[in-house]
Amino acid sequence: MAEPTITDNTAEHRYEAHLDGELAGYLVYEQDGEVVDLPHTKVFSQYEGKGVAGALVRHGLDDIRARGGLTVTPTCPYVEKWIQRHPDYADLVHQS
């Protein structure tokens, strides 16, 4: 299966995953200063089980890390669990 193409839709404040030219899912972000909240991950039912959500989270976190100086608040339960399974991303989690 092909990997999704992921883009940052800044107007909608979300990373979007496309498969075969169709929107497969998205990861919403809300930035407040140096903290980026990740409140919601959505994968459309016909694309579930194809790795779309994991690809979205990895891409989003990699992009946030690349911007430098930012941390994340993983309020989306999927994002929180994904980070727990990938501890190399734990350093991005905002410490309050």
pLDDT of 52-85, one tens digit each?
999 999 999 999 999 999 999 999 999 999 999 9
Query: What domains are defined for the chain?
Result: 5-92 (3.40.630.30)
Q: What is the pLDDT of residues 6-49, one digit of tens each?
A: 999 999 999 999 998 999 999 999 999 999 999 999 999 999 99
Q: Are 48 and 11 in contact (CB under 8 A)?
A: no
Query: 17, 23, 36, 18: which is closest to 89 by C-alpha?
Result: 36
pTM value? Answer: 0.95
SS3 29: strand
Please tell me the distance from the alpha carbon of residue 3 to that of residue 30, in angstroms, as a whole number: 25
